[in-house]
Chains A and B, each alone.
Chain A
Amino acid sequence: MVATEKATNPTKVEVKDLTIRYGPKVALEGVSLDIRENEIFGIIGPANSGKTSFLRALNRMDLFTPGMQVDGTIRFDGRDVRKWRNVFSLRQRIGVVFPLPVGLPMTIYDNVALAPRLAGVKGKAALDEIVERCLQRAALWDEVKDRLDSLGSLLSGGQQQRLTIARALSQDPDVLLLDEFSIAVDPVTTMRIEDVLKVLKDEITIVLVTNLVQQARRLADRTAFFLMGEMVELADTEALFTRQTTDERTQAYVEGRFG
């Protein structure tokens, strides 16, 4: 790998020999990588290359997915995620945003206040502060600040997606997993959210799965290329995009020759 080693941050998530199966179908095979603190870790690749399965394994959603089998080890802060006795506390530290927006059928305020409430935050002032901060960061505050009592599930698609991001931030996570977050968001808003992500990475670690190769280039510090259940390559983003790649397929993909 050509990637030049920068002054590296400590490892946040360590993945070793990760293999994910759904019944007989292998979704991801033999992936090993490190995600470092306060970086944006990009994952690119076409559909069905195992990107989403990878995210689901990180926060142990395999427990809720019948037939999903995960082998290998994932260490979060040095601890094997499968040895966390309390999987709920693990998930609290990992925020997730899905490709399709999910506005829960409750008020906008409650959508964002739910996670803090579940985590035991009480008092209106504290909750108000979290709700405003998270909605600000998700670039949604200005549009909804006058109607926090209306239903989150009735917002437009793009607004719901930003609400979803606000909700993921409201749990005050260490790691934020973004799964193609911009699919349902218009380009202008996408850029606003991207700006927010650049700021956020000072505080948290972000794993960005994206279909938009250029988005990975804009945001990610390092980028992994997944293809058909295999990690083809992992490199500093600039290296990956400037033909310093070692693999023919990576180059073809980032240049848009397939995918």
Chain B
Amino acid sequence: MFEASDLNNRNRKVERLWGLLFLMMTILLILPVLAILGVLIHEGGPILSMDFLFTEPKDGMTAGGIFPALVGTVWLVTVALLASVPVGVAAALYLSEYAPDNWLTRVINLAIINLAGVPSIVHALFGVGAFVLFFKFGTSILAASLTLAVMTLPVVIVATRESLQAVPQAFREACWNMGATRWQTIRHVVLPNSVSGILTGVILEVSRTAGETAPIMFTGAAFFLPFLPQSVFDQTMAMSLHLFVISTQVPGVPEALPYGVALVLICMVLAMNAISIAFRTYLRGKKKW
């Protein structure tokens, strides 16, 4: 008859202990998320209404809605994506599919890592110098979005490169052996099988861009501007900056207002994340190999 030894039993107990420890740590991690959401919903929930979303701020931003800021954030994120996605995906394609292992590639990789490590306020100052002044875009959506794009580029590149690398090398070789060029291989085999991962990365990127404050503060986001932007050369309000402004710069703001703005901002971000997760789950179910 086989019996578990003392050592077996002790290992089993230790095993359960570790599992419990890790579970506790994980719960610790979700606590702040729940707390933030709880406070925001409790404090800011009552103020939410269609009027709040779709009217302009009034009375020195102490009343009214957030419509210009909401629209402004959509503008900023959209233009930033239009700039960063094509460049980022192209760069990732080069690095993953074309780049030989030489000093240039290593320098590029180093640059990407360093770009990712630059603080956002430094990006802001770069944006002022490069886009606002040097390219003479002025403080505008274009300048702010390009600053955001530069900032998010490393993440787009890394996410895209990882999705590309997830496509097995054997698929590429099979394709090359048929006489396909690198581009034909990318077009027919690599991209169709990595586009889901790329999109997921991009959507996550959107949610990050939406919340950034520092990079847009000096480059295109306005303190108070109760009009909707007409073109990329206009300034605009933005959710993140608006939240900062009414929380710290304007006296007499009712307490619920910043909470309401924060709640809308976080809901935008969470909605994007949810879409991204749903999308990924859907595509995982359709896994092709």
Chain A positions within 8 Å of B, measured between CB atoms, are: 59, 61, 64, 66, 88-96, 98, 100, 102-106, 114-115, 118-119, 151, 153-154, 164, 167-168, 171
Contact = CB atoms under 8 A, between A and B. Distances in A.
Nearest to B189: A104
B178 A61 contact: no
A92 B288 contact: no
B176 interface: yes
Contacts of A119: 179
Contacts of B175: 104, 114
A91 B173 contact: no
Given A61-B173, A100-B170, A164-B174, A154 B179 contact: no
A61 B177 CA distance: 8
B249 interface: no
A59 B101 CA distance: 22
A168 B176 CA distance: 11
Contact of B180 (A98, A106, A118): A118
B178 A92 contact: yes
The prevalent SS among residues of B at the interface is: helix
Contacts of B189: 104-106
Nearest to B167: A105
Interface of B: 100-101, 170-181, 184, 188-189, 192-193, 288-289
B179 A118 contact: yes
19 contacts: A61-B173, A61-B177, A66-B101, A88-B179, A88-B181, A89-B179, A91-B176, A95-B178, A98-B170, A102-B170, A103-B289, A104-B175, A105-B171, A105-B189, A106-B188, A118-B180, A154-B289, A167-B174, A171-B179
A40 B264 CA distance: 71
Contacts of A171: 178-179
A91 B178 contact: yes
B178 A64 contact: no
A118 B184 contact: yes
B104 to A, nearest CB: 15
